[in-house]
Structure 1
Amino acid sequence: MSIKIAQPYINGEWITSGRESVPVISPYSGETIGEQILATNDDVENALASAFNAKKQIASIPSHQRAQILKKAASLLENEKERFAKLISLELGKPLKNTLDEVSRSIETLELSGEEAKRLLGETLPGDASERGTQAIASTFRVPVGLIAAITPFNAPLNLVCHKVGPAFAAGNSVILKPAPQTALIATELLKLLLEAGFPENAINMVLGGVETGQQIVKDDRVNVISFTGGVVASNNICAIAGMKKVLLELGGNASTIVHEDADLNRAAAMCARTGFSNSGQSCISVQRIYVHQSVVPKFTELLKEEVLKLKIGDPLHPDSDVGCLVDKNAANRVMEWIDESTKMGAELICGGKQHGATVEPTVLLNPSKQSKVVCQEVFGPIVSIIPYETIDEAIKETNDSSFGLQAGLFTNQMDLACKVAHSLEVGGVVINGTSNFRLDHWPYGGIKNSGIGREGPRYAIEDMTETKMIVLQLPVNQ
Structure 2
Amino acid sequence: MIKTTVKKAHPYINGEWVETNRESVLIKSPYSGEVVGEQVLATPEDVENALASAYASKKQIANIPSHERGKILKRAASLLEQGKERFAELISLELGKPLKNTLDEVSRSIETLELSGEEAKRLTGETLPGDASERGTKAIASTFRVPVGVVAAITPFNAPLNLVCHKVGPAFAAGNSVILKPAPQTALIATELLKLLLEAGLPKNAINMVLGGVEIGQQVVKDDRINVISFTGGVVAARNICELANMKKVLLELGGNASTIVHEDADLKRAATLCARTGFSNSGQSCISVQRIYVHQSIIPTFTDLLKEEVLKLKIGDPSLPDTDVGCLVDENAAKRVMNWINESIQLGVTVVCGGKQHGATVEPTILLNPPKHSKVVCQEVFGPIVSIIPYETIEEAIAETNDSSFGLQTGLFTNKMDLAYKVAHSLEVGGVVINGTSNFRLDHWPYGGVKNSGIGREGPRYAIEDMTETKMIVLQLPINE
Which TM-score tier does this pair reach, normalised by the shorter chain? over 0.9
Q: Does 1:211 find its partner at 2:219?
A: no
CA distance in 1, matches of 2:213, 2:437: 36
1:117-153 deviation per Cα after TM superposition (whole angstroms, max 9, x unaligned): 0000000000000000000000000000000000000
| AA in 2 matched with 1:20 | E
Q: Does 1:73 find its partner at 2:81?
A: no
CA distance in 2, matches of 1:139, 1:346: 64
Alignment partner of 2:33 out of 30, 33, 52:
30
CA distance in 2, matches of 1:48, 1:396: 46
Partner of 1:314: 317
1:313-332 superposed matches below 5 A:
313-332=316-335
CA distance in 2, matches of 1:269, 1:8: 44
Partner of 2:143: 140
Q: Does 1:399 find its partner at 2:402?
A: yes
Partner of 1:286: 289
1:34-113 superposed matches below 5 A:
34-113=37-116
Partner of 1:161: 164
| AA in 1 matched with 2:277 | R
Which secondary structure state, in structure 1, belongs to the residue aligned with residue 274 of structure 2? helix
Partner of 2:265: 262
Partner of 1:6: 9
| AA in 2 matched with 1:122 | G
Partner of 2:471: 468
CA drift of 1:387 comes to 0.0
Measured on the aligned residues, the alpha-carbon RMSD in Å equals 0.4
Alignment partner of 2:346 out of 343, 347, 370:
343
| AA in 2 matched with 1:266 | K
CA distance in 1, matches of 2:279, 2:363: 13
1:219-257 deviation per Cα after TM superposition (whole angstroms, max 9, x unaligned): 100000000000000000000111000000000000000
CA drift of 1:477 comes to 2.1
Which secondary structure state, in structure 1, belongs to the residue aligned with residue 179 of structure 2? strand
Tell me the percent identity. Answer: 85
1:322-352 deviation per Cα after TM superposition (whole angstroms, max 9, x unaligned): 0000000000000000000001101100000
Partner of 1:438: 441
Which secondary structure state, in structure 2, belongs to the residue aligned with residue 326 of structure 1? coil
Partner of 1:301: 304
CA distance in 1, matches of 2:383, 2:28: 21
CA drift of 1:185 comes to 0.1
Q: Does 1:420 find its partner at 2:431?
A: no
CA distance in 1, matches of 2:176, 2:32: 40
CA distance in 2, matches of 1:165, 1:4: 23
Alignment partner of 2:357 out of 330, 354, 357:
354
Q: Does 1:150 find its partner at 2:153?
A: yes
Partner of 1:187: 190
1:378-413 deviation per Cα after TM superposition (whole angstroms, max 9, x unaligned): 000000000000000000000000000000000000
| AA in 2 matched with 1:229 | T
| AA in 2 matched with 1:289 | R
Q: Does 1:365 find its partner at 2:368?
A: yes
1:161-218 deviation per Cα after TM superposition (whole angstroms, max 9, x unaligned): 0000000000000000000000000000000000000000000000000000000001
CA distance in 2, matches of 1:344, 1:369: 11
Partner of 1:478: 481
| AA in 2 matched with 1:450 | N
CA drift of 1:476 comes to 1.6
1:44-99 deviation per Cα after TM superposition (whole angstroms, max 9, x unaligned): 00001000101000000000000000000000000000000000000000000000
CA distance in 1, matches of 2:6, 2:470: 43
CA distance in 1, matches of 2:136, 2:206: 41
Q: Does 1:334 find its partner at 2:337?
A: yes
Aligned residues: 479
| TM-score after normalising by structure 1 | 1.00
List, as ranges, runs of 4+ consecutive aligned residues in structure 1 with deviation greater than 3 Å: none
CA distance in 1, matches of 2:164, 2:89: 17
CA drift of 1:459 comes to 0.2
Which secondary structure state, in structure 1, belongs to the residue aligned with residue 391 of structure 2? strand
| TM-score after normalising by structure 2 | 0.99
Which secondary structure state, in structure 2, belongs to the residue aligned with residue 450 of structure 1? helix
CA distance in 2, matches of 1:190, 1:331: 26
CA drift of 1:270 comes to 0.1
Alignment partner of 2:123 out of 120, 125, 144:
120
CA distance in 2, matches of 1:340, 1:368: 11
CA distance in 1, matches of 2:471, 2:139: 18
CA distance in 2, matches of 1:132, 1:242: 39
CA distance in 1, matches of 2:213, 2:155: 12
CA distance in 1, matches of 2:306, 2:165: 37
1:239-254 superposed matches below 5 A:
239-254=242-257
Query: Any unmatched runs of 5+ in structure 1?
Result: none
Alignment partner of 1:457 out of 429, 451, 460:
460
Which secondary structure state, in structure 2, belongs to the residue aligned with residue 370 of structure 1? coil
| AA in 2 matched with 1:173 | N
CA distance in 1, matches of 2:392, 2:348: 19
| AA in 2 matched with 1:447 | G
CA drift of 1:478 comes to 3.5
Query: Any unmatched runs of 5+ in structure 2?
Result: none
CA distance in 2, matches of 1:241, 1:47: 18
CA distance in 2, matches of 1:309, 1:340: 21
